[in-house]
Amino acid sequence: MKITVIGTGYVGLVTGACLAEMGNHVLCLDVDPRKIEILLGGGIPIHEPGLLEIVRRNAQAGRLEFTTDIPRSVAHGTLQFIAVGTPPDEDGSADLQYVLAAARNIGRLMTDYKVVIDKSTVPVGTADKVRAAVRDELERRGLGDTAFSVVSNPEFLKEGAAVADFTRPDRVVVGVDDGDDRAAMLMRSLYAPFVRNRDRLLVMDIKSAEFTKYAANAMLATRISFMNELSRLAERLGADIEAVRIGIGSDPRIGTHFLYAGAGYGGSCFPKDVKALARTAAEAGLPSQMMGAVEAVNEAQKLVLAAKVVAAYGEDLRGRTFAVWGLAFKPNTDDMREAPSRVLLAELVRRGARVQAYDPVAAEEAARVLALDLGQHPAQAGIHFAASAQEALAGADALVIVTEWKEFRTPDFEQLAARLADRRVFDGRNLYEPAMMKSFGLRYESIGRPAV
Ligand code: NAI
């Protein structure tokens, strides 16, 4: 099939590459010439395990192309995936300007049947707006009766495991209009290679498909905030949240997945989707109590690591040096959007501390976003980037762990104790056994567990 993917970010690039891998001829469009240049040069603009190989293989085979040329992109695909960003507007609602701009481009230039597919996360009712935008542009050209379909196909991939999630999905959700057999058939055949088990292709009405994505992210964010709130209570009461997690997770109605207390959720999706769902609920006249609480708990949780440092060292951190391991909002990505590390670092340097930060892949992106957060070059604010986890420890008083990269899981504990002047570790991801840390002479504070 001929496919256009509009927006070549995390979702668009993975979608385009994985669809090309199945033999489709995919053209990826982006308005950002820098991204397209990198892709045309044989690289990828993001860190995502396994993606570079697929992009290269399919680009070489001529099945995956990249462009900034909008007329070419509209002419190319019968299927037009919209995978542009939907960032939060000032009031928390999803900003649809990029989605609707993409839809208008299609209507302005299409000459034959197209399926316009919303892959971006968009509020319930967006498909109607997309349809109106395409129709408006067609009518303006006197082509009002040109046939096209609008489909909702929200994406559930996880950054860091995006290729595996896309190629072996738990489910694919497709929302089509009642009776739009043509679009339904095209979507079924497109996804057939990915959902050999056909139960995993869920075809439903468009509004339910749009809503499913928000419901999924809201549920996941709720689980995290729930565990984070309990972790604070566990600390106060002297209980161990890890024991509690296992204790409740073994009930299949609860399940063990995604039940970890930590330093707060970040990323491009949960924060904005929780806000957007709250906004949708308010606009619908049914304000959500839960979404506000989920967000508030998370905002507070992002401050927990800094609060532990302050409890240990006092408000004034001048003269102190902290090693920080992990900057990306989660492992296996360089995505820094809404990362809890940004809150921690701002708090530390605001109080005069020096920071030696290490992340296996996100340092460059971190330097960029921290410069914006702090209004100055990170080095001027006292943040230095180390080339390795070991290097970050040199001369540090204490270590703070924010992201659970695998390489942090089994460090040389003796060396850790020897290098940290205060032999102190603040762990925002509960990577280690407290008793073991104690046995190495380390003072260890984690989330929701007694300090040792
Ligand atoms: P991103 O910011 O990485 O990529 C969006 C791309 O769209 C950018 O490269 C931008 O330059 C481009 N763009 C904007 N307007 C355009 C236009 N008119 N024509 C062509 N390109 C245009 O965003 P990301 O993370 O890929 O997210 C995209 C959507 O997918 C969002 O709605 C997000 O909520 C959703 N999503 C994201 C997931 C993730 O893990 N990142 C997972 C599931 C859904």
pLDDT digits (tens, 9 = 90+) for 272-302: 999 999 999 999 999 999 999 999 999 999 9
Catalytic residue among 269, 276, 309, 348: 269
2-204: CATH topology? Rossmann fold (3.40.50)
Contacts of 348 (CB under 8 A, 6+ apart): 306, 309, 317, 322, 324, 355
Q: Is 335 in the pocket of ligand 1 (CB under 6 A)?
A: no
For tokens 């033999």, what's the residue?
Answer: 23
Q: Is 268 in the pocket of ligand 1 (CB under 6 A)?
A: yes
Of all protein residues, the one whose alpha carbon is nearest to atom 29 of ligand 1 is 120
Sign of the Cα torsion 365, 366, 371, 373 reads positive
pLDDT tens-place string over residues 383-432: 999 999 999 999 999 999 999 999 999 999 999 999 999 999 999 999 99
Distance CA 90, CA 65 (A): 35
SS3 state at 29: strand
With a threshold of 0.95, tell me whether the complex ipTM lies above it: yes
pLDDT tens-place string over residues 150-164: 999 999 999 999 999
pLDDT higher than 90, residue 203: yes
Look at residue 111 in the predicted model and tell me its pLDDT.
97
Q: Is 4 in the pocket of ligand 1 (CB under 6 A)?
A: no
Distance CA 339, CA 330 (A): 8
Q: What angle do CA 339, 419, 397 make, to 5 degrees?
A: 60
The CATH class of 214-299 is mainly alpha
- Known binding residue 121? Answer is yes
Residue 442 · residue 423 · CB < 8 Å? yes
Whole-model pTM: value is: 0.95
Look at residue 225 in the predicted model and tell me its pLDDT.
98
- Known binding residue 157? Answer is yes
Q: Is 157 in the pocket of ligand 1 (CB under 6 A)?
A: yes
pLDDT higher than 80, residue 198: no
Residue 269 annotated to the active site: yes
Look at residue 107 in the predicted model and tell me its pLDDT.
98
- Please state, for a pLDDT cut of 70, what percent of the chain lies above it: 100
Which ranges constitute the DSSP H helices of 141-269? 162-167, 181-191, 206-237, 241-249
Task: State the pairing for strand pair 79-82/114-118.
Answer: parallel
Mean pLDDT along residues 2-31: 98
Kindly report the backbone phi and psi dihedral angles of residue 445, in degrees, each rounded to the nearest multiple of 5, phi listed first: -120, 125
- Residue-averaged pLDDT of the chain: 97
- Distance (Å) from CA 240 to ligand 1 centroid: 39
Given pLDDT bands bounded at 50, 70 and 90, which one contains residue 23? Answer: very high
Look at residue 390 in the predicted model and tell me its pLDDT.
97
**Cβ neighbours around 111 below 10 Å, total:** 10
Q: Is 15 in the pocket of ligand 1 (CB under 6 A)?
A: no
DSSP 5: E
- Distance (Å) from CA 121 to ligand 1 centroid: 9
Look at residue 448 in the predicted model and tell me its pLDDT.
98
Residue 271 · residue 251 · CB < 8 Å? no
- Known binding residue 272? Answer is yes
Given pLDDT bands bounded at 50, 70 and 90, which one contains residue 197? Answer: confident
Rg for the chain, CA atoms, rounded = 24
pLDDT tens-place string over residues 118-172: 999 999 999 999 999 999 999 999 999 999 999 999 999 999 999 999 999 999 9
- Nearest of 341, 322, 327 to residue 399 by alpha carbon: 322
Instruction: Report residue 221 as tokens.
Output: 């964010």
pLDDT higher than 90, residue 199: no
Q: Which architecture does CATH list for 302-445?
A: 3-Layer(aba) Sandwich (3.40)
- Distance (Å) from CA 14 to ligand 1 centroid: 11
Mean pLDDT along residues 318-332: 97
pLDDT higher than 90, residue 196: no
Given pLDDT bands bounded at 50, 70 and 90, which one contains residue 303? Answer: very high
CATH fold match for the domains 2-204 and 214-299? no
Across the beta sheet with 321-325, the strand order is 383-385, 354-358, 321-325, 398-401, 424-427, 443-445
Q: Where are the domains of the chain?
A: 2-204, 214-299, 302-445
Residue 201: strand pairing partners? 172
Q: Is 269 in the pocket of ligand 1 (CB under 6 A)?
A: yes
DSSP 184: H
Mean pLDDT along residues 259-280: 96
The atom number, within ligand 1, closest to the CA of 156 reads 43
pLDDT higher than 90, residue 192: yes
Instruction: Report residue 72 as tokens.
Output: 């070419």
- Known binding residue 30? Answer is yes
- Nearest of 134, 149, 135 to residue 180 by alpha carbon: 149
